Amino acid sequence: MTRQRARLTESLERQTAIGEGLKTIGRSTFDLKPVLESVIGSAARLCGADNGSIVQAERGLWRMVAFVGPPADTETLERAYANRTLDRTRGSVTGRVLLEKRTVQIADVTSDPEYEPAYRMLMHVRTVLGVPLMREGEVAGVILLRRTRVAPFDEKQIQLVETFANQAAIAIENARLFNQIQEKSRELELASRHKSEFLANMSHELRTPLNAINGFSEVLQEQMAGPLNDRQVEYVSDILESGKLLLSLINDILDLSKVEAGRMELEPSEFSLFDVLTNALTLVRERAARQHISLGLELQPGLERITADERKVKQIVVNLLSNAVKFTPDGGRVDVVGARRDGALEVSVHDTGIGIAPDERERIFEEFQQAASARGREGTGLGLTLAKRFVELHGGKIWVESEVGKGSTFRFTLPIAASAAVTA
């Protein structure tokens, strides 16, 4: 009965240790040290080892990553593994594990003729067990358990250590993948920053000659340098319109590159929301008139003046209105509504346009992306992206509600705390 109880207790301890090891890996997937220390601690305790360590193969060298045992043994092992190359020989347990890619036990190192004398004297150990940590068929590390007396580990103990080795291998692989992802993320961030800086520099370089082209086009259009015939007036008008469109694109790219580089800052001030919405409607009125599109504005009382970045709020609304007018058929309608919703300022732009398919409603806010129905129409694909970035700079949200063939409503919110609504 006593032996049976002892076996049950031992079995329970093993299962508990395995469970604890798995939980440790789950909790600390990317912090390798506590996981490996827990693994070697449990393995040494349950197998009755005098000390234990985990070594990891890294860039052609062994590196000790975890240890359990007397402090003096720690110092001895640290010296032994300092700049120690991966020894694919039979003179050590780690070398044999590397060669054979399997568990190796030396029952008595003093009676093994192939065992290196220098390792034989290390901590005066007699029995050594080495269990490989495998990754993609190669040895990524080794769990080592040692006894200072001749006492081979039995089959159950070896199986237990092999279970721990599997856990340690998973932890090492998780940490490797995490570090790899982190490194790739840093590389992508650096590439994105370089791209943004390049776009910003190019935009500055392009704006100077383009401003000159637009300026001289306006001089010609006003016929300040002499009279023009009808065809020349038409050509100059086309040049000026194309120049303004290109300047708008360059400004959008410059703004986007500033946001991505973290150089775009808010310049909050108190201003008339009514004036901003009215001015935004004025900027699209000419195109709306050409398409016989009706424009409307409704502003809830109490929101006449707000505090936010006036230029950016205006650009958000202009971008949404331009988008609405562009995709609304002749004779349609576009309305702007400003209201208080759930403690925030909400501005919505509703149109009776072609609508947006459900699977495209998130993608249209990404840079240089357009809905399938928008392809072939003029536009850079940056208007909605900038609107989203400017809204988020304020701490707000932007989204779209749409039904194909019936129209869309773009809504954005600004926190009242940030916009500080004031009665006029």
The DSSP annotation for 370-424 comes to: --GGGTTSS--S-HHHHHHHHHHHTT--EEEEEETTTEEEEEEEEEHHHH--B--
Beta-carbon contacts of 79 under 8 Å, excluding residues fewer than 6 positions away, are: none
What is the per-residue pLDDT for 85?
A: 81
- Beta strand 294-299 pairing with 333-341: parallel
Backbone torsions φ then ψ of 240, nearest 5 degrees? -65, -40
Same fold, 2-174 and 269-419: no
Q: Which pLDDT band holds residue 424 (cuts at 50, 70, 90)?
A: very low
* CATH number 3.30.450.40 is the correct assignment for the domain at 2-174: yes
Given CA atoms 353, 359, 363, 369 in this order, what sign does their dihedral have?
Answer: negative
CA distance 264 to 252: 13
Condensed to tens digits (0 to 9), the pLDDT of residues 82-108 reads: 778 887 888 899 999 999 999 999 999
Q: Which pLDDT band holds residue 177 (cuts at 50, 70, 90)?
A: confident
With H, G, I as helix, E, B as strand and everything else as coil, classify residue 202.
helix
What is the per-residue pLDDT for 147?
A: 94
* Angle, CA 247 vertex, CA 241 and CA 252 arms, to 5°: 130
Identify the weakest region by mean pLDDT among 135-144, 262-271, 374-383: 374-383
- Higher per-residue pLDDT: 104 or 378: 104
What is the per-residue pLDDT for 348?
A: 96
Q: Which pLDDT band holds residue 258 (cuts at 50, 70, 90)?
A: confident
Q: Which segments of 198-278 are extended strands (E)?
A: 269-272
Burial of 159: CB neighbours in 10 Å, binned 0-12, 13-18, 19+: middle
For residues 344 and 415, the answer to whether their CB atoms sit within 8 Å is yes
Q: Which pLDDT band holds residue 422 (cuts at 50, 70, 90)?
A: very low
Burial of 123: CB neighbours in 10 Å, binned 0-12, 13-18, 19+: middle
For residues 56 and 62, the answer to whether their CB atoms sit within 8 Å is yes
Give yes or no for residue 345 having a pLDDT over 60: yes
Give the distance from CA 370 to its chain's centroid: 23
Which pTM value belongs to this model?
A: 0.52
- Beta strand 138-147 pairing with 127-135: antiparallel
Condensed to tens digits (0 to 9), the pLDDT of residues 391-413 reads: 999 999 999 999 998 999 999 99
What is the per-residue pLDDT for 44?
A: 92
Return the structure tokens found at 139. 């040895």
For residues 358 and 408, the answer to whether their CB atoms sit within 8 Å is no
* Angle, CA 389 vertex, CA 387 and CA 390 arms, to 5°: 65
Identity at 123, one-letter amino acid code: M
Cα 112 to Cα 12, 71, 80: the distances in Å are 36, 28, 20
Q: Which pLDDT band holds residue 22 (cuts at 50, 70, 90)?
A: low
Other CB atoms within a 10 A radius of the CB of residue 235 amount to: 14
CA distance 40 to 145: 9
Point out which residues pair with 127 in neighbouring strands.
147
- Highest average pLDDT, of 34-43, 180-189, 315-324, comes from 315-324
- Higher per-residue pLDDT: 122 or 55: 55
For residues 89 and 95, the answer to whether their CB atoms sit within 8 Å is yes
What is the per-residue pLDDT for 417?
A: 52
- Give the DSSP H or E segment for 336: strand 333-341
CA distance 173 to 418: 45
Give yes or no for residue 25 having a pLDDT over 80: no
The domain defined by 183-260 folds into Helix Hairpins (1.10.287)
Domain ranges of the chain: 2-174, 183-260, 269-419
Cα 39 to Cα 45, 132, 292: the distances in Å are 10, 14, 75
Backbone torsions φ then ψ of 94, nearest 5 degrees? -60, -40
Residues of the chain with pLDDT > 70: what percent? 85
Other CB atoms within a 10 A radius of the CB of residue 54 amount to: 28
- Summarize the confidence of residues 67-86 as an average pLDDT: 81
What is the per-residue pLDDT for 264?
A: 76
CATH architecture under which domain 269-419 falls: 2-Layer Sandwich (3.30)
**Of 281, 255, 270, nearest to 389 (Cα)?**
255
Point out which residues pair with 414 in neighbouring strands.
345
- Higher per-residue pLDDT: 295 or 221: 295
Residue 154 is given by DSSP the state: -
CA distance 334 to 129: 78
